[in-house]
Amino acid sequence: MRKVAIIGIGQTKVDEHWNRTIRDLAGEAIFAALQDAGREEFEALFSGNMLSGLIDQQNNLGAVIADWIGFKGESIKIESACSSGGAAFRAGIMAIASGELDSAMVVGVEKMTDAAPTEVTSALATAADSDWELEQGISFVGLNALIMRRYMHEYGWKHEDFAPFSLNAHANATHNPNARLPYPITLDQFNNAHMVATPINLMDASPIGDGAAAVLIVPLENVRDNKGAVQITGSGAATDTISVHSRKAPLFLQAAYLSAQRAYSEANITPQQIDFFELHDAFSIMSALSLEACGFAERGQGPRLGLDNEITPKGGRIPICTRGGLKARGHPVGATGIYQIVETVQQLRGECGETQVAAAKIGMTQNIGGSGASILTHIIQII
């Protein structure tokens, strides 16, 4: 298998893009990635997207985006709920590593804000088990609230103990021009925010948005002298039961653990060597669970990292969400996994300004689909 590198990145601002279409957003990110790489073409296009058929009434999205940008090669859409971006990225990696392709563009794109909130909530809920969860009328935030409530009961945490995850994300987003919510929040704002599904309030939950991010990947052997290139050294994927109640350990992200272990093994590193972690903080409880599953905290002790100031870009043991994460950069679901990749490349290139992690050489991303059913982990490092 060949080694794979990223040579170009592009992204749009995550926002309410009322006057733009899903194809327009995808095209902007793709052309930005080409410009960044100094290239004009690629061999195949992999698009990560969850909701185009449900919200935009547009299936066959691969052909739609290809047509818009004037591309006539292979182009497919990959759907894996909120981990669609990560799944598309892994598909591109395998195509390059196998020798089937010598270049691939991977774009994650989502257009969510044109629909009514109730319609979006219903569409997102399709990432859960339609027979055993959706049928009972529970929303996606409701499922995460049940997990968080049980976690607090089992391990004795209070709601405010999760505040550092959100405060860190918002503090970092103030320095990200592409963030959806680029402003800081206080502990009082976190504690007094409107309750959505007890114990999850507005400050625990990530906002939806419209946006697209793209990366151009090629064989590493072709670009070793490219100063903007970084190497993909680990890629792991795993699944768990789609319904939370079917899991033997509902408070442990087994798929996160397995995908991370596979990525660590492929990269031949340990968690202690990771310089920063772009995790999937769709809800604050997921930050704690991801940190535990990936070996950065003991089970039930994820919030301790935030309380001990171990997650910040300046001096933290394991900085997370360095550009705002899902919580403040925003969560255009099918695009989120690629935003994480783009932001990791920015860190490794030293382009993150006030939230730059000093001497960052190895970054990790983790993209979660559903409430932990489909999880992809990637490790990227300086060549």
What is the domain-level CATH number for residue 101?
A: 3.40.47.10
* 295 backbone φψ class: left, alpha, beta (φ>0; ψ -120 to 50): left
359 in any annotated domain: yes
131 in any annotated domain: no
Given pLDDT bands bounded at 50, 70 and 90, which one contains residue 225? confident
pTM for the complete prediction? 0.98
* Residues acting as catalytic residues: 82, 331
User: In the structure, how many helices (H) and strands (E) does the chain have?
Assistant: 12, 11
* Rounded Cα gap, residues 272 and 342, in angstroms: 22
Question: How many domains, in total, are found in the chain?
Answer: 1
Which range marks the domain in which residue 290 is found?
Answer: 4-116+211-382
Tell me what pLDDT residue 382 has.
Answer: 97
Other Cβ atoms closer than 10 A to 42: 23
The sheet with strand 374-382 has its strands ordered as: 74-78, 44-48, 104-110, 211-219, 4-11, 230-239, 374-382, 362-369, 276-278
Given pLDDT bands bounded at 50, 70 and 90, which one contains residue 92? very high
219 in any annotated domain: yes
334 in any annotated domain: yes
CA distance to 86, 131, 151, 347, per residue, from 125 (Å): 19, 12, 22, 33
Closest C-alpha to 280, from 232, 236, 338: 338
147 in any annotated domain: no
Both tokens of residue 319?
């900085």
295 in any annotated domain: yes
Tell me what pLDDT residue 79 has.
Answer: 98
* Rounded Cα gap, residues 26 and 67, in angstroms: 12
158 in any annotated domain: no
Given pLDDT bands bounded at 50, 70 and 90, which one contains residue 170? very high
